[in-house]
Amino acid sequence: MAHVQLLDPASTDGDRRLALDEIQGAFGTVPAMFRAVANSPAALRSMWGSFGALGGGALTPVLGEQIAVAVADRNRCEYCLAAHTALGRKAGADGAAMAAAQAGESADPRTAAVLAFALQLVDTRGSVPAGAIETVRAASLSDEEIVEVIAHVALNLFTNYVNVSLAVPVDFPSVPLTPAP
C-alpha cells in the first residue's frame, strides 16, 4: 500500500488536472507514480515537464530508457525498472538490450560508455573525476549529450526516490531486479 494517497484524476482540478489529463493522453492511463506525485502540483509539474523536455532532447528515447533502467536497478526501484523496461521496448529496444542496460552494459560501445557514466554519477553522487567526462566525450558524446545524461540521471533519482520511499504499487509488467551485491 502506498504511503500517500494515489489521487483519482477525475477528482482533481486546476494545474493538477491539466497535467494528469496530459499524462492520460500520453499513456492511455495515469500510472500510479503520477497519481502519488499529484499530491504536490509543483512536484507533478516538475516531473512531467522534465519528462517532456528530455523526451525532446539530443539523446534518443531508447538511450534515455536504458539510462533509466540502469539507474532504477542500482537504486532498487522496482517501479521504475518495470515502467522503463516497458517504455524502452515501446521505443524500439529489444528485451536483451534492456536487460543488458539494467546491468549497466551494452554491446554498443557508445551506449556502454553512457551507462557506465550514468552509474558512476549515481555511485559518486555526482562527484565523478574529470576522466569520467573525458571517457564519454571520447565515446562521441557532445557537451549537450553529457549534460542530458546528467539530467536523465537526476530525473530518475527523483522518480526512484518517490516510488521507493512512498511504496508506490507497480502497475507495469514486473521485471526482477538484479541480485543485490
Q: How far apart are CA 32 and CA 103, in angstroms?
A: 25
Only one residue has cell 551494452, namely 106
Per domain, the residue ranges of the chain are 12-55, 61-165
115 Cβ contact list (under 8 Å, min separation 6)? 66, 67, 70, 101, 104, 105, 106
CB atoms within 10 A of CB 138: 11
What pLDDT is recorded for position 181?
67
Q: What does the block give as the cell for 119?
A: 552509474
Predicted structure pTM score: 0.96
What pLDDT is recorded for position 19?
95
The per-residue pLDDT string of the chain (181 residues; one tens digit each, 9 = 90 and over) reads: 889 999 999 999 999 999 999 999 999 999 999 999 999 999 999 999 999 999 999 999 999 999 999 999 999 999 999 999 999 999 999 999 999 999 999 999 999 999 999 999 999 999 999 899 999 999 999 999 999 999 999 999 999 999 999 999 999 999 999 987 6
**Which of 104, 66, 103 shows the shortest CA–CA distance to 85?**
66
Pick the CATH number of 61-165 from 1.20.1290.10, 1.10.3720.10, 3.40.630.90, 3.30.70.870: 1.20.1290.10
What pLDDT is recorded for position 119?
97
